[in-house]
Amino acid sequence: MNKLTALIFLLCAAGLAAPFLKSHDAQFYFNRGSDTLAEADAGRGWFFRWDLRSALADFNHCIRLDPNYTEAYFSRAAIESMTGNRAKAIEDYTTLIELNPQDPDGYLARAELEAANHDFACALGDYAKVIRLAPDNRAAYRGRIDVMEMQNNYAGAMMERVRMIEDTVPAFGGSFATNRGFFSPRDPGRWSGRFLEQLDRAIESNTNFAWGYYYRGVVESSLTNDWGSALVDFRHCQDFSDDRLKDYAAIQIWAVQARIGEREKADKELQAYCQNRSERTSADWQMHIAEFLLNQISAADFAKAIAPDDTGNEQSEYWYYSGMKRLLAGNKTGASDCFRKSLTTKTRPYAVFLSARGELSSLNRMAADE
């Protein structure tokens, strides 16, 4: 056999063997199924459901060839979910989790189906696992919020919103170089009403939802300028046993009174509150806030009071209350700068998130009208 004949023979043999080799290649079927899905999703035409069946057959074949092919389980489960076979999809997500227990996507996908099946306990558990593996995964927080609302646990859903803001990286879309972008002049109108509705519903369902009154007061004072209602809610916070809640409510009462021109009254009331605090030390962070607002310590001393192990919450409050003092003194530019800084710390309290956003939006509206 000459070299040319041998080459032709080898090429023919390779051509005949190629389909056989592909039929034993899990990757081939996964790729073909994925391509079919992508084309079907782009077209969404007459053959969409046929394409789903075709892709499902490829993923089935892929898994038969390689039972540990995690991506194939995920893709197959997605098709099963789209075609209404939730039980089979949950089964595939469970296998995926067993193969790769550190991947949050499997837990997240399974939780969404469990929630749709009203298997709330399992859904909340899976969402919790996602948050443990990926603390910044907002989809998991939103999933937990949805489940709690389906359970009529509106106070729990509200506190989950608080946790989402306080424990995750800010998801701001605008630039902090100016007050524009994310903090547009019309911004509060899109979300203040929704927050109040959520808080009203939570408090109606649980009249002992102490922090609900506080957060509602924050919305009323910083977003809607309903000073009277804010004062009522903040004063109601003093009826609860939570000392930390009482402290922050007292600070907010001072801020509202100062904003409406009752600075002398605000100072006297906050001073009296601080003197009557029960069994707590002057080293409390909330006491430092009060001392700063009452001009009993300087901005430098206030900054030094931030705990060495602070993850951002105290730093955020430092900038927020520094901005509030500048705002009361008529320094709008300085106040805006402080409010922006309060929102860019690694973590920030929910009240600061609402208040600083509201104050920046208010300042933007005033600037737009000038």
Q: Is residue 10 part of a domain?
A: no
Angle at the Cα of 248 from the Cα atoms of 211 and 256, rounded to 5 degrees? 105
CA distance 43 to 106: 27
Q: Is residue 9 part of a domain?
A: no
If asked whether residues 188 and 143 sit together in one domain, one would say: no
User: Smallest Cα–Cα separation from 268: which of 276, 319, 99, 358?
Assistant: 276
Give pLDDT tens digits for 53-91: 899 999 999 999 999 999 999 999 999 998 899 999 999
Q: Is residue 290 part of a domain?
A: yes
User: Considering 167, 189, 218, which residue would you say is the last residue of a domain?
Assistant: 167
Average pLDDT over all residues of the chain: 86
If asked whether residues 237 and 301 sit together in one domain, one would say: yes
If asked whether residues 221 and 340 sit together in one domain, one would say: yes
- Long-range contacts, 55-59 (Cβ 8 Å, 24+): 55/79, 56/80, 57/33, 58/29, 58/30, 58/32, 58/33, 59/29, 59/30, 59/33
Task: Provide mean pLDDT across the span 302-311.
Answer: 95
Dihedral Cα 20, 22, 25, 28, nearest 10 deg: -160
If asked whether residues 73 and 118 sit together in one domain, one would say: yes
DSSP one-letter string for 115-137 = HHTT-HHHHHHHHHHHHHH-TT-
- Do residues 41 and 49 lie in contact, with contact meaning Cβ atoms separated by under 8 Å? no
Could you give the 3-state DSSP secondary structure of residue 209?
Answer: coil
pTM for the model stands at 0.81
What residues contact 72, with CB distance under 8 A and at least 6 apart? 26, 30, 33, 59, 62, 63, 66
Task: Provide mean pLDDT across the span 240-258.
Answer: 96
If asked whether residues 110 and 189 sit together in one domain, one would say: no
Looking at the predicted structure, is the pLDDT value of residue 353 above 80?
yes
Q: Tell the residue number behind the tokens 């806030």, with chain if given.
A: 289
Higher per-residue pLDDT: 192 or 320:
320
User: Considering 142, 167, 192, which residue would you say is the last residue of a domain?
Assistant: 167
Q: Is residue 269 part of a domain?
A: yes
Domain total of the chain: 2
- Do residues 183 and 173 lie in contact, with contact meaning Cβ atoms separated by under 8 Å? no
If asked whether residues 107 and 42 sit together in one domain, one would say: yes
3-state secondary structure 255-269: HHHHHCCCHHHHHHH
pLDDT level of residue 98 (50, 70, 90 thresholds) = very high
If asked whether residues 32 and 131 sit together in one domain, one would say: yes
Q: What is the pLDDT of residue 280?
A: 63
If asked whether residues 242 and 347 sit together in one domain, one would say: yes
User: Considering 143, 167, 191, which residue would you say is the last residue of a domain?
Assistant: 167
CATH number of the domain encompassing residue 254: 1.25.40.10
Token readout for 299 is 């901005």
- Do residues 26 and 65 lie in contact, with contact meaning Cβ atoms separated by under 8 Å? yes
Domain that holds residue 234: 181-369
If asked whether residues 156 and 297 sit together in one domain, one would say: no
If asked whether residues 361 and 306 sit together in one domain, one would say: yes
CA distance 368 to 358: 15
Q: Is residue 102 part of a domain?
A: yes
CA distance 238 to 142: 31
Higher per-residue pLDDT: 233 or 311:
233
If asked whether residues 114 and 241 sit together in one domain, one would say: no
Q: Is residue 57 part of a domain?
A: yes
If asked whether residues 209 and 350 sit together in one domain, one would say: yes
